[in-house]
Amino acid sequence: MSSGRTNSSAFSSGSPLRRLGPWLLLGVVIVATLSLAVFGTRDAPTTQDRVSSISRTVKCPVCSGESVAESNAPASQEIRRDIALRVQEGQTDDEIRSYYVARYGEAILLTPSASGINALVWILPVAALAVALAGLAIVFRRWSTEPAETASPEDRRLVEAALRGDETGSSELADPTDGHGEGDSR
């Protein structure tokens, strides 16, 4: 009668598939997730989609913390009309945002640009994640390559003597000043 275990050489403790399998699976999941995020929907955005998208990235100049898309202030309504006009004229999203930055300053944008010191906002979280994953990989690698501790011949003799109930085997290894049998662990 078999115990239900198979001795597959592909999954033995030292096989490359056993060591690299989880990392390959993690890589596939990451690539698939990023691919879906980047290439998920490739339909051309409509004019209204572009106006809405740009409006969500521009702050209302008179409201506190609201985007032009959320605010119903007269200034926001005017900016939304201006964005729609600029989109119809064929300006790119970056050109429209640059116009508002030139007019109101960098603080008008809700999302920081990815240049200069603002690039740190985008780079630091990614760098921290990469360092954390590298640290985990190193720790897991060390754990998997630590040698198994083996019993010394003296330890084996001590265990055999204890199993036999032989006092002479344990007394020759025991410290006479150790009344409790704790060894050097105190």
What are the backbone dihedrals phi and psi of residue 109, each rounded to the nearest 5 degrees, phi first?
-90, 135
pTM recorded for the entire structure: 0.45
C-alpha R_g of the chain: 34
Dihedral of CA atoms 86, 87, 93, 96 in degrees, nearest 10, equals 10
Would you list the domain boundaries of the chain?
47-110, 112-141
Q: How far apart are CA 55 and CA 70, in angstroms?
A: 8
CB count, 10 Å around CB of 141? 11
| Averaged pLDDT in 10-residue chunks for the chain of 186 residues | 49 66 86 79 77 90 87 91 93 90 87 71 87 91 77 89 72 54 55
Instruction: Give the pLDDT confidence score for residue 177 in this predicted structure.
Output: 59
Fold held by 47-110? Helicase, Ruva Protein; domain 3 (1.10.8)
Instruction: Quote the pLDDT of residue 185.
Output: 55
d(CA 110, CA 66): 9
Number of residues written out for the chain: 186
pLDDT value, residue 85: 94
Give, rounded to a whole angstrom, the gap between the first and last alpha carbons of the chain: 49
Annotate 144-174 with DSSP letters as a single string. HHSPPP---HHHHHHHHHHHHT-HHHHHHHS
